[in-house]
Amino acid sequence: MASLSLPSHAAPQVSQLYQFTYPTAVQNLFSLPNGCLLLGTSISADLYYINPEALYPSAQRVITLPGSIALTGFATLGNDFYAVSGGTSPSSSLDGGMQVYVIKVETEGDVNVTLDHIVPVPGASSMDGMAALPKYPGTILSADAIGGRILRVNTSDSSVSVAFEHAALKPGDSQDASARGIKGLKIRDDYLYFTNSAQRTFGRFPIDANGTNTGDVEILAYLDDKPGDGVSYDDFSFDSDGNAFIAVHPSSVHKITPEGTQSVFAGGVNSTFLEPTSVAVSNNGASIYVSTAGEDTGFPISGGQVLKVLVSR
């Protein structure tokens, strides 16, 4: 189990592709097959599209999804269909007002995004990270960060169930009512990988084809316990070699190798990363994209960012 070690490489090249005006915070981003990005924010149900290879990248609003004021997670369903989770408050809905939108994204020529249907998720207190089941891509697993549960949503028949819950997914013994447990969620090689913000852990569970837990949790890495330092894991992404790149509040991206070595990959104190929220690895693996929430304290205040970080290969 890995704590933090010093990086063994020179600082990678970082460039800012786009920055929203305050108070827009980017909650999550997702890489499409054409290399462009979908973005969801924590203050609206507007879905944005960015071409990171454009000379001057800009955020194009492509659709506004009804019934939510924040968009929190993305998953690929296949055949140009995607699942997007949303709710009535950023990352959470204590009254159970979460839902999954099934959208179609067509990228030949001008991008065109249409809403196919909506799946209500009754009783869900939050939905953050999402991943589709490899053998059943129409079914997604989603992270209930407040309830400490893995939700299973079938986007074809609109059925919703609890795949499993576990103490490792919960906010732990935090006395903060706003504390969040499981945040990021990915499926890789018959394991469900997750980050837990409150417990400051990165771990995995073995799962079956239906997303049901088949064994005990394995904690792969953690952040040192320094109460009040504001450091926590958020969402993450894997590259083709199995390295995990994790957005870490308040200002960095960590890399955890398959062997469990954890290091600061980019950012750190006084960096340009303003509260990182998620990471997406580019399709060619040559870079990672990082979304941030921006800065709402001190001076100057700023909106959320989309950053590109080059990866040495």
Residues 195-213 pLDDT 10s: 999 999 999 999 999 999 9
Confidence category of residue 174, pLDDT binned at 50, 70, 90: low
Alpha-carbon separation of residue 295 from 19, 21, 251, 290, 305 (angstroms): 11, 11, 11, 15, 10
Are the beta carbons of 71 and 47 closer than 8 angstroms? yes
Does position 177 have pLDDT exceeding 80, yes or no?
Answer: no
Mean pLDDT across 276-302:
93
> What is the distance between the alpha carbons of residues 143 and 232, in angstroms, rounded to a whole number?
16
- Name the pTM for this structure: 0.93
The per-residue pLDDT for 125 is 79
The per-residue pLDDT for 309 is 98
Alpha-carbon separation of residue 102 from 50, 120, 279 (angstroms): 20, 11, 22
The per-residue pLDDT for 225 is 66
Under DSSP, is residue 242 helix (H, G, I), strand (E, B) or coil? coil
Whose CA is closest to 275, among 251, 291, 298, 255? 251
The per-residue pLDDT for 93 is 43
For 7-46, the DSSP string reads -SSPPPPEEEEEEPPTT--EEEEEE-TTS-EEEEESS-SE
The per-residue pLDDT for 3 is 61
Does position 247 have pLDDT exceeding 50, yes or no?
Answer: yes
Whose CA is closest to 86, among 113, 115, 49? 115
The percent of residues in the chain predicted with pLDDT above 70, rounded, is 91
Residues 43-62 pLDDT 10s: 999 999 999 999 999 999 99
Q: Indicate the DSSP class of residue 279.
A: E
Does position 229 have pLDDT exceeding 90, yes or no?
Answer: no
The per-residue pLDDT for 312 is 78
The per-residue pLDDT for 293 is 96
Residues 75-123 pLDDT 10s: 999 999 999 999 875 444 445 589 999 999 999 989 999 999 999 999 8
Residues 9-52 pLDDT 10s: 678 999 999 999 999 999 999 999 999 999 999 999 999 999 99
Query: What does pLDDT average to over the chain?
Result: 92
Give residue 71's identity as a one-letter amino acid code.
L
Are the beta carbons of 112 and 106 closer than 8 angstroms? yes
In angstroms and rounded to an integer, the radius of gyration of the C-alpha atoms of the chain is 18
Q: Which residues of 251-283 are buried (b: 16+ CB within 10 A; e: fewer)?
A: bbbbbbeeeeebebbbbeeebebbbbbbbbbbe
